[in-house]
Amino acid sequence: MNARGLPGLAPNLTDKTWLHGDGSYDFIVALVQKGVPKPKQASAPMLPKGGTNLTDEQVRAVAAYVYSISHPPKP
């Protein structure tokens, strides 16, 4: 619920650590679209589009949200 993940299950999305890429918006879009079949630190894969039928617009919205919580505005 707080996007901080669960050890061994899901990564923290609020920090600057990215296990499978650079954390850029474009990277996050591709990650949501393709999923993570072999996660480096999680016990289960992340399915493409979260296992749902997201539209391209919805994928971009998810990616924008994840990007915003991992790249907060500078004061």
Q: In this predicted model, what pLDDT tens digit does every residue of 46-62 receive, in sequence order?
A: 999 999 999 999 999 99
Extents of the domains making up the chain: 1-75
- 11, with CB counted inside 10 A (0-12, 13-18, 19+), is buried
User: Rounded to two decimals, what is the model's pTM?
Assistant: 0.87
- How does pLDDT run across 20-29, given as a tens digit for each residue? 999 999 999 9
Q: Which CATH number fits domain 1-75: 3.40.50.970, 1.10.760.10, 3.50.50.60, 3.40.50.1100?
A: 1.10.760.10
At 7 the pLDDT is 85
| Residue 8 token pair | 């061994």
CA distances from 61 to 9, 65, 67, 73 (A): 23, 6, 10, 18
* pLDDT surpasses 90 at 73: no
